[in-house]
Amino acid sequence: MPSSLRERSPHLAVAVAGLAYPFLVYFGLRVVPPAVIAGGLVGIFGVRLALNHRNDERRRFAPLLFGAAVATLILVVLSPLAGLKSYPILVSLGFAGLFGYSLWRPPTVIERIARFRQPDLTPAATPYMRNVTRVWLGFFLVNAAASAATAMSGDLELWMLYNGLISYILMGVLFVVEFMVRRHVRSRGGAA
């Protein structure tokens, strides 16, 4: 296995576990008690913290991950099922916090991502990237509210459907729409 792939494998495994999380909860609850699945969730947070600790760029996310892990643990102790359902809410709020913080302390998340692909962005592109960051911030706040509504509904199938499918579709749609808008702005001589 090439070194770079070997180094990325743990990150990929954690990402896949995070994406599959609603399905793991839904089907796992048929086999094991909620506390067992909650222990796995706290384990995912722990692995992610350990992986991020090795990377200076990702180390900034440690307080966010640690806070989410502690909040999940508290919720799991109070109510294992509520703790399990809190994960998508906490992830969305975490991303909202990250995007919001980057608006307060630039460069924004979107600008950082853009500079990976194009390091020599013009200063005129910054307002566009700030607006895109605001849109994603709004998306994550709305997504957290929708996740909370499905969690409080008491319908585990609805929770899984929204958090395991619909939210990802909405995220994909937003990404595609932003990509199309960016291409349109560029074609008209804009700074995006």
Task: Specify burial of residue 137 (Cβ count, 10 A radius: 0-12, 13-18, 19+).
Answer: buried
What is the C-alpha separation between 121 and 107, in angstroms, rounded?
A: 12
Considering only residues 140 and 164, tell me which one the structure prediction assigns the higher pLDDT: 140
Q: What is the pLDDT of residue 1?
A: 43
CB atoms within 10 A of CB 14: 18
Question: Which pTM does this prediction carry?
Answer: 0.83
CB 82 within 8 A of CB 151: yes
pLDDT above 90 covers a percentage of the chain that reads: 38
The crossing angle, in degrees rounded to 10, of helices 80-104 and 109-117 is 70
What does the pLDDT read at residue 129?
Answer: 95
* pLDDT over 70 (residue 24): yes
Q: What is the pLDDT of residues 141-183, one digit of tens each?
A: 999 999 999 999 999 999 999 999 999 999 999 999 999 998 9
What is the per-residue pLDDT for 57? 56
Of 184, 177, 185, 98, nearest in space to 144 by CA: 98
- pLDDT for the residue 27: 86
Q: Give pLDDT, residue 9.
A: 75
Spatial distance between the Cα atoms of 149 and 27, rounded to a whole number of angstroms: 21
Torsion of CA 42, 91, 58, 74, to 10 degrees: -40
- What's the pLDDT tens digit per position in 31-61? 888 878 877 877 777 777 777 666 655 666 6
Q: Is cis: bond before 88, omega within 30 of 0?
A: no
The pair phi, psi for residue 103, each rounded to 5°, is -70, -35
